Structure 1
Amino acid sequence: MSGAFRIADKGRLTPAKTVRFTFDGKTYTALEGDTLASALLAHGVHLVGRSYKYHRPRGFLTAGSEEPNALFDIARDSARRQPNVRGPVQEVFDGMKAGSQNRWPSLSFDVGAINDIVSPMLIAGFYYKTFMWPFSAWHKLYEPAIRKAAGLGVAPTEEDPDSYASRYVHCDMLVVGAGLAGLTAALSAARTGRQVIICDEKPEPGGALQYESGTTVDGKPGYDWAVAAAAELAAMDNVRYLPRTTAFGYYNHNFLGLCERLTDHLPNAKADGPRERLWQVRAEKVVLATGAIERPMVFPDNDRPGIMLASAARSYLNHYGVAVGSKIGVYCAHDSAYEAAFDLARAGVKVVAIIDSRPEPGPGLAEEAKALGITLHSGHTVIGTKGRLRVKSMRVKGGGKPRDYDIDALITSAGWTPSVHLFSQSRGKLAFDAENERFLPSVYAQNAVSVGACNGTDAVADLVSEAVAAGGGFAEIAATTEHAWTGGMLGESDDAEPYAKAFIDYQHDVCAKDIRQAVHEGMASIEHIKRFTTNGMASDQGKLSNMHGLAIAAEMLDRPIPQVGLTTFRQPFTPVTFGTLINHSRNELFDPARKTPINAWAEAQGAPFEDVGNWKRAWYFPRAGETKHDAVNRECQTVRAAAGVFDASTLGKIEVVGPDAEAFMNLMYSNAWSTLKPGKCRYGLMLREDGYIYDDGVVGRLAQDRFHVTTTTGGAPRVLNLMEDYLQTEFPHLKVWLTSTTEQWAVIAVQGPKAREIIAPFVEGVDISNEAFPHMSLAECTVCGVPSRLFRVSFTGELGYEINVPADYGLKVWEAVFERAETFGACAYGTETMHVLRAEKGYIVVGQDTDGTVTPYDVGMGWAVSKKKPDFVGMRGLKRPDLVAEGRKQLVGLMVKNNPRLVLEEGAHVVADPNAAKPVPMLGHVTSAYWSEALQSGIAMAVVKNGHKLKDQTLYVPMPDRTIAVEVVDTVFYDPEGARING
């Protein structure tokens, strides 16, 4: 048997398909397709957890993802365990181990329930008042206990063995919700040939059609129509139907995050492959068909196990074939509760009484209740319930002496709240529907439309026509229903006893009187009330409690609800596992090392590597018996005397293309680009808005509308991000497209006096003579028969070329070039040699010789700032008084006096007088320091206060064991005339 409360011939599950699972160590049976909630309810199990603060017994409240109470620890084995899983969402699978949470030593006897007894001391805001001086001095006593008690579930300690997947996809239309509205909109769009994605968090389609008994669509029962519609959509090539998939976040530019649960419902033997998949969707249009969430009634002791929403009881009955009790009471302020009561009564379940807080129900409901033998009390309220671990009775008041009814379940409904969470995440603006006391979508910020109940559309016929229009207007669907929803709100009664609790936020134990207390203590904004009481701050994010808290606050403040405000709906809509968000980014892929096409060759040569950003770069190439110092000296000498071959593939590369590319470059860089002709290069300097250096690199102009931009190795992502940011926010009128091409090009730099001779036989399609192809030239040609972009540029001060070839050909071209280079006495060199060579020429490294507070003028590069351009990023920043004032730190060269073989330490302070009174005033610090084999001397660069005016003067570098005298010199130490670069 799958449970004593399973009703024969009810529900849509197959009785022959059974599974076994455990809850708190006890074994139960269920039907395949059951949720953990429906399976336990089938066995009469209502007590499933304890509340966060008071540790009160709690049971199932809903049948959906808005569930605040029934949170379980779900395990397949010791490693595959997840806390805080919502029971109405988790499907039962064979062998599942479910455990209750937040209790000790057992669920039925929880020591933490003492909090409920002392609850008058734990009022709203008690933590703000209690944990202040002088009690704050006792934090060593109470803090460990509080930390231990905090939270609900227990985080797993073992590494997660499951895998997760991720997909990016574009579509014409994304439909969120596979109820009547969503399916209708999807069909309407799909039949026109549009690319459609439709997702729903439930395993089956239908939404409210799963539990409604009176809706028919195209002459079929509503749920049967939904199944057929979903099957039609799934069979279409232009449609992707995603059940068990939650749209958890709606971001800018119609970008949404979806979480698909792939194997959480499967037994271990079948749960192969990724557990969950993250879908990152960019849609031209978004249709939100997210439905509405039923509101519970607020009354004293409304949180006992066995008290749940009417729609939940109806869903468990009509979809799962489970009665939530044998003697059921109904308390409502809305007509939809009657439908649940009638369905239960027709199924043979005793409905003790319907208590309606309104003067009278909707048309015809009283007559139908009478025909079914259900007692109806209009204008009455439930003022309390009894029952320690499950509701046993309800007390009803209405015009006379209160009366008690024996019950084992109580279903409630105070109306419906449109699910506007995703709409609000999209930055849409809500408007208050005063007649029905609800917020509805009003002003859209993106290309989206809300249809159905989430848009306040109650009548099903209107819902269908609205959805058809949203999808394109081509579907012909007719729907009828026995009733239409009406509005409703709080239905709250006064507390019957001084310490009785009428809960609005079930998970955080926030009561109606907590909201009142917050107002009494001066809270007038709903955001302040939320934080003072923690209402809506639980994992359900106030899906059931926000409107109740808002209504109570508005009543206390004597203001209309819109004037009190509305709390912010944030991502995610429901909790998302870390595994889904991280997906492949684990272990080696968490922060993956990036390797160039030449990396394997460098490894084979025995090169050690250094990390530059995420890139692995060959540091130097030692020969037998060589130290690092020996190898770098040899490489430096070889490059200056003959040539060196260097892997520069890690340079950031961005393609800037479009009719306004030149205008865009003029705005993004401090120097001018209008005078740069195609086939030529220019050093580019990028500033921040405050005028400080942000990045630099050589830029080649391939055509009037195309630039090949290089950036520093570690700067490519942030430079592209900055460009995109400005293009989309400040310069949206410019027709420009940006493409990252860093990985697409392998770059082989050949530097040295013999560089031209080395590459000449491989280059076809361009004359690389000094006259035809001078320094800072660019040509598209072939190298080794491979399409190439050849730059004549240098970061060493020597004659140099950078060969850009498609990455797939990088290693072969490198091997061919290097084989010839060796015959000229050349060598491969690494990043350490590159730094020495560039320092000898005074070339800066952004991030090493700059620190985010350096301007072009500070490093002697005022020539890179255009005086003719009307505007560029950073232009106004450069004019700030502080940036043109005396006393700024400026880049200079340093040479050690008296001991040229000494190399300064990078980061060492520079002072004018080491004997000055402490604290000694610091003028600056050393940014780069190396041994120069060419100069047979140590060299250094430093940023020093007023450095440009201190040339030829002596400064000092104090060290722990000595003070070093240094002379301030120019930053160009080698070949100051620049003759070698033009060779």
Structure 2
Amino acid sequence: MSGANRIAGKGRLTPAKTARFSYDGRTLTALEGDSVASALLANGIHLAARSFKYHRPRGILTSGPEEPNALFDISRDAGRSTPNVRGPMQEVYDGLIVKSQNRWPSLAFDIGGVNNLFSPFFAAGFYYKTFMWPKAAWHKIYEPRIRAAAGLGVAPKEADPDHYANRFAHCDVLVAGGGAAGIAAALAAAETGASVIIADERAEFGGALYFDNGVTIDGQEGFAWAQAMTARLAAMPNVRVLPRTTVFGYYAQNFIGLVERVTDHVANPDRHAPRERLWQVRAKRVILATGAIERHMVFDGNDRPGIMLASAARTYLNHYGVAVGAKVGVYTAHDSAYEAAFDLKAAGVQIPAIVDARDKPGEAVLAKARSLGINVMTGHAVVSTGGKLRISSMKVARKGMRSGEKIVVDALIVSSGWTPSVHLFSQSRGKLSFDVENQRFLPGTYAQDCLSVGACNGTNSIAATIEEALGAGELMARAAGAEGASALSINATQAFEWTGGMAGAGEGAGPESTSAKAFVDFQHDVCAKDIRLAVQEGMHSIEHIKRFTTNGMATDQGKLSNVHGLAIAAEALGKAIPEVGLTTFRAPYTPVTFGAIVNHARGPLFDPARKTPMHQWSEDHGAMFEDVGIWKRAWFYPKPGEDMHQAVNRECKTVRTVAGVFDASTLGKIEVVGPDAATFMNLLYTNSWDTLKPGRCRYGIMLREDGFVYDDGVVGRLAEDRFHVTTTTGGAPRVMHHMEDYLQTEFPHLKVWLTSTTEQWAVIAVQGPKAREIIEPLVEGIDMSPEAFPHMSVAEGKIAGVPTRLFRMTFAGELGYEVNVPADYGQAVWEAIWARAEPMGACAYGTEAMHVLRAEKGYIIVGLDTDGTVTPDDAGLGWAVGKKKADFVGIRGLKRPDLVAEGRKQLVGLRTKDPKDVLEEGAQIVDNPNQPIPMKMLGHVTSSYWSENCGHSIAMALVAGGKSKMGQTLYVPMADRVIAVEVCDAVFYDKDGGRING
């Protein structure tokens, strides 16, 4: 037996099995199966935390995931420290280290408690009003100190030594919640043969059966039935049972996020086992059996340690065998608190009084209370409490009166009713309806293939809950395609039917009680008067009230405070609660660790580098690399003694005079295949594709709906029903997504299949006057003559004995080829080409030379020379828009008046007056450098380089009315001087394009 407050013969834990842990340096003993919260209560400890703003003493309030107060720093050693762990959810094990948070130097004596003395000055909106002046002080004084004080826990500084796992799964039916409703629904679904996943956040399934010992199911005590049925489910081959697993997010198309705590309850975990496992599940149907959350009572002094929810006191007694006090008062507006009083009374705990805010409680519970000799004070309210680090008394008055009776207690349990847990339903984009009679929101209009059952659906009795769940389980399984039958019949009874409930502030915490500290949100110290002040200050939207007061913005996301806050706001606004509305429920349902979300993506895998098949060759030949997206690309190839500029200048000259070999494997590549491939291409691109003959290529522009350039690339038609599409390196994933999105949503009637082949092909670009001479002897099955294989052609054959798709195309403005070969053969073919190129004086060149070469020819790079507001005409690509095309994505956007208006920014070239001046990319352009600041900006430099081939600097820029400014002088203000530039054509080299034809 362990702990002064353990009650012999109560609870479900085994007294012989103990575990030792430390709390703020003090060694304590618990029983195996204890939570940190139950173990502290067993040892007579109610003080668990300090509140965020006022540093008020706070105790354990709940027994579940909604806990706002008892948040601890949990560790088993220095490297495994996790802040803000909810005490009721953390299981105790040998060697567990528990530390309280947000206090100094100790929990009992906290210097931060001085904030409570100044609480009248720290009302809602204090920060917004106080730290506005002087303006310069925000960044230098206020912000650093506020950020230092923010937060409850302290993030560990050591690297996380644990690892995390990730699983993807599909199922017919996913059941969120392992209470009676969830178990019954899972059983019914599983009996049909459907594949089922059932998950619950607790270590054992049971839900409300943890505390409600008045429930009998199929002749068994409720919790025992839950364990037997859980074992039955676990033994079924089509069911996966996931305890200690939070269903934290409900996303589009029944995509569900879960986090399973795998080893956080184990003293000596297997080092190969993950600490947590992230499950990403696609379910055909979802059943929400998430239960309901008990609400506290809002009254002056309702936050003292020793005050907790009635269901929590009942859980600690009936499951853990722990009495929350020796003399426990009850304050309620709901029948369920009576059952907690009955259980405590039967365990030998004194119940000085049940204070009921209602005039007429349920007759059955009232009669039972009186038969047990419990003093029931109906139509009364607790108007204040006494005590410092733990409650010592409650002041009770008849409604409408302030004077009353002081009753000595060492704990107070409260209940104002139950709030259905509709968080996941709301995340699914379902719309809620308001139950006026019971003052609660319930699932209303469904947006996805799910059903809510049990308490989260407003179903009160256990018999009705199980009947509803059995029907839902079979219905959803059949809707998912299961064909078996479920003949389950489960009989359930309960001791009492519950009635009652209220929302909002209680007696003594109304608008007239301006000094009452009646807390709505415990973690953020939001009182009823703060919400009224927000309304008084002009906040009429519930979302504005939430942000002004921070009500519901703590780690519990308002699970306890939300409905009370709505009710108080509605009262202050003179509206009904549904008119005020409801704040947004966002994922995660309860906090999820960064480790679980980040998973393997840390260290080298945080930003994994993608390498081309020729990466090792480039590395062996001294290449310097740059990151382009997540690709490592050869930037330039310096020779001994060369700096970057010298190497790039040499590479550019060599390409123009001999040839260069370039690794273009990172280009996005998409295969568009099917009978309607040309029709699809016509709709996605601005120009026409049905006129393109097999074996030929065409440059294409892709727009967004608004008419702005989205991507570009060369497309080769391999056959009547097959296109090889290239995209920009960084654009490959989004272009694939863009095309797939339109295929599935706008053009699903087209018979087209899309396949990303970026990694399938290694691409070797050979550019320059000797390009044909270099590769021709290696090519088989393709006529390489200029007549048979002109510019913008594509053919399939072999090169160096390897199958190839050979494109004749260029991004350098020279005779050029792009050799596509299977990625596994990329380096071998590269080496074969290099063996011919090197003796001829060719070079390998990198991305920097590629940028200079393409800029010399005025070729754009989408995302560099465009900024998301550029049309094809702005970029000088109006010729690529089919004038006779009736429809394509973006055609209506292009017709908007603003997109054809004069004065739009257009892409032009810039030549500096001093040929040696190289502009900075991104630099602004003005027409008068002497104008007052702020200057009127005409545009900005998009690309700028020194061109060794031209003998002067070159630049491209987006300039307002650029085409009309040819020959004009503009100015580019730099950090140390102003550079004069002349607006010119964007093509600086080989304007007639003759070099392309070799």
Normalised to the residue count of structure 2, the TM-score between the two structures is 0.89
Structure 1 counterpart of 2:396, one-letter code:
V
- SS of residue paired to 2:698: strand
Q: Is the 8 A contact 1:652 1:710 kept in 2?
A: yes
After the TM superposition, which residues 231-246 of structure 1 pair with which residues of structure 2 at under 5 Å, given as runs?
231-246=231-246
- SS of residue paired to 2:829: helix
Q: What corresponds to 2:715 in structure 1?
A: 699
1:295 equivalent to 2:295? Answer: yes
Q: What corresponds to 2:662 in structure 1?
A: 646
Q: Deviation at 1:613? A: 2.6
Deviations 1:753-802 (A, max 9, x none): 55445545655565555444443233455555555443332222333332
**Which stretch of the first structure deviates more once superposed, 563-572 or 903-912?**
903-912
Deviations 1:545-592 (A, max 9, x none): 111222233334443221122222222222222333322332333333
> Structure 1 residues 308, 948: CA separation in 2 closer, same or farther (over 3 Å shift)?
closer
Q: What corresponds to 2:68 in structure 1?
A: 68
Q: What corresponds to 1:543 in structure 2?
A: 559
After the TM superposition, which residues 107-118 of structure 1 pair with which residues of structure 2 at under 5 Å, given as runs?
107-118=107-118
- SS of residue paired to 1:53: coil
Q: Aligned partners of 1:303 and 1:884: how far apart in 2? A: 64
- SS of residue paired to 2:531: helix
Deviations 1:489-542 (A, max 9, x none): 248542288734332222222233333444455544433333333322222121
Deviations 1:429-451 (A, max 9, x none): 00011122111011112222211
Q: Deviation at 1:99? A: 1.7
Q: Aligned partners of 2:816 and 2:48: how far apart in 1? A: 74
Q: What corresponds to 2:18 in structure 1?
A: 18
Q: What corresponds to 1:531 in structure 2?
A: 547
**Which stretch of the first structure deviates more once superposed, 579-588 or 730-739?**
730-739
Q: What corresponds to 1:481 in structure 2?
A: 493
Structure 2 counterpart of 1:857, one-letter code:
D
> Structure 1 residues 910, 22: CA separation in 2 closer, same or farther (over 3 Å shift)?
closer
Q: Is the 8 A contact 2:504 2:563 kept in 1?
A: no
**Which stretch of the first structure deviates more once superposed, 361-370 or 506-515?**
361-370
After the TM superposition, which residues 662-701 of structure 1 pair with which residues of structure 2 at under 5 Å, given as runs?
662-701=678-717
- SS of residue paired to 2:331: strand
- SS of residue paired to 2:228: helix
Q: Aligned partners of 1:576 and 1:817: how far apart in 2? A: 53
Q: Deviation at 1:205? A: 1.2
Structure 2 counterpart of 1:981, one-letter code:
I
- SS of residue paired to 1:173: strand
**Which stretch of the first structure deviates more once superposed, 335-344 or 656-665?**
656-665
Q: Deviation at 1:43? A: 0.8
> Structure 1 residues 609, 428: CA separation in 2 closer, same or farther (over 3 Å shift)?
same
> Structure 1 residues 783, 6: CA separation in 2 closer, same or farther (over 3 Å shift)?
farther
Q: Deviation at 1:682? A: 1.5
Q: Deviation at 1:54? A: 2.9
Out of 442, 445, 448, the residue aligned to residue 446 of structure 1 is 448
Q: Aligned partners of 1:911 and 1:3: how far apart in 2? A: 76
Equivalenced residues, count: 981
Q: Aligned partners of 1:472 and 1:84: how far apart in 2? A: 39
After the TM superposition, which residues 67-466 of structure 1 pair with which residues of structure 2 at under 5 Å, given as runs?
67-131=67-131, 147-267=147-267, 270=270, 273-398=273-398, 402-466=404-468
Q: Aligned partners of 1:442 and 1:843: how far apart in 2? A: 56
Structure 1 counterpart of 2:558, one-letter code:
G
Q: What corresponds to 1:606 in structure 2?
A: 622
- SS of residue paired to 1:246: strand
Q: Aligned partners of 1:582 and 1:718: how far apart in 2? A: 22
1:981 equivalent to 2:996? Answer: yes
RMSD, matched Cα:
3.6
Structure 1 counterpart of 2:729, one-letter code:
T
**Which stretch of the first structure deviates more once superposed, 559-568 or 487-496?**
487-496
> Structure 1 residues 725, 195: CA separation in 2 closer, same or farther (over 3 Å shift)?
same
Q: Is the 8 A contact 1:393 1:404 kept in 2?
A: yes
Structure 1 counterpart of 2:339, one-letter code:
E
Q: Deviation at 1:236? A: 4.1
Q: What corresponds to 1:468 in structure 2?
A: 470
Structure 1 counterpart of 2:508, one-letter code:
D
Deviations 1:195-240 (A, max 9, x none): 4332211111121122221333344333233223333433444433
Q: Aligned partners of 2:921 and 2:745: how far apart in 1? A: 38
Q: Deviation at 1:656? A: 4.2
- SS of residue paired to 1:384: strand
Q: Aligned partners of 1:746 and 1:388: how far apart in 2? A: 73
Structure 2 counterpart of 1:252, one-letter code:
A
Q: Is the 8 A contact 2:304 2:391 kept in 1?
A: yes
**Tell me, which stretches of 5 or more residues in structure 2 are unaligned?**
476-484
> Structure 1 residues 602, 350: CA separation in 2 closer, same or farther (over 3 Å shift)?
same
Q: Is the 8 A contact 1:332 1:491 kept in 2?
A: no
Q: Aligned partners of 2:336 and 2:820: how far apart in 1? A: 69
Normalised to the residue count of structure 1, the TM-score between the two structures is 0.90
Q: Deviation at 1:921? A: 8.6
Structure 2 counterpart of 1:7, one-letter code:
I
- SS of residue paired to 1:351: coil
Q: What corresponds to 2:735 in structure 1?
A: 719
Q: Deviation at 1:669? A: 2.4
Structure 1 counterpart of 2:216, one-letter code:
T
> Structure 1 residues 451, 269: CA separation in 2 closer, same or farther (over 3 Å shift)?
closer
**Which stretch of the first structure deviates more once superposed, 90-99 or 218-227?**
218-227
Q: Is the 8 A contact 2:929 2:971 kept in 1?
A: no
Q: Is the 8 A contact 1:910 1:955 kept in 2?
A: no
Q: Is the 8 A contact 2:927 2:969 kept in 1?
A: no
Q: Is the 8 A contact 1:310 1:340 kept in 2?
A: yes
Deviations 1:865-901 (A, max 9, x none): 111122334434444455444455544456678x87x
Q: Aligned partners of 1:734 and 1:594: how far apart in 2? A: 34
**Which stretch of the first structure deviates more once superposed, 917-926 or 442-451?**
917-926
Q: Aligned partners of 2:2 and 2:474: how far apart in 1? A: 45
Structure 2 counterpart of 1:489, one-letter code:
M
Q: Deviation at 1:101? A: 2.1
Q: Aligned partners of 1:343 and 1:535: how far apart in 2? A: 33
After the TM superposition, which residues 27-38 of structure 1 pair with which residues of structure 2 at under 5 Å, given as runs?
27-38=27-38
> Structure 1 residues 510, 817: CA separation in 2 closer, same or farther (over 3 Å shift)?
same
Q: Aligned partners of 2:439 and 2:181: how far apart in 1? A: 22
1:839 equivalent to 2:855? Answer: yes
> Structure 1 residues 458, 663: CA separation in 2 closer, same or farther (over 3 Å shift)?
farther
Q: Aligned partners of 2:941 and 2:126: how far apart in 1? A: 54
Structure 1 counterpart of 2:589, one-letter code:
F
Q: Is the 8 A contact 2:519 2:526 kept in 1?
A: yes
- SS of residue paired to 1:838: helix
- SS of residue paired to 2:11: coil
> Structure 1 residues 701, 388: CA separation in 2 closer, same or farther (over 3 Å shift)?
same
**Which stretch of the first structure deviates more once superposed, 922-931 or 497-506?**
922-931
> Structure 1 residues 678, 335: CA separation in 2 closer, same or farther (over 3 Å shift)?
farther
Question: What fraction of aligned residue pairs are identical, expressed as a percent?
Answer: 69
Structure 2 counterpart of 1:533, one-letter code:
T
Q: Is the 8 A contact 1:684 1:696 kept in 2?
A: yes
Q: Deviation at 1:544? A: 0.8
> Structure 1 residues 568, 851: CA separation in 2 closer, same or farther (over 3 Å shift)?
closer
> Structure 1 residues 455, 733: CA separation in 2 closer, same or farther (over 3 Å shift)?
farther
After the TM superposition, which residues 580-659 of structure 1 pair with which residues of structure 2 at under 5 Å, given as runs?
580-640=596-656, 642-657=658-673
Q: Is the 8 A contact 1:914 1:963 kept in 2?
A: no
Q: Is the 8 A contact 2:297 2:506 kept in 1?
A: no
Q: Aligned partners of 2:144 and 2:646: how far apart in 1? A: 57
Structure 2 counterpart of 1:546, one-letter code:
N
Q: Aligned partners of 2:937 and 2:60: how far apart in 1? A: 68
Structure 2 counterpart of 1:430, one-letter code:
L
Q: Aligned partners of 2:337 and 2:407: how far apart in 1? A: 18
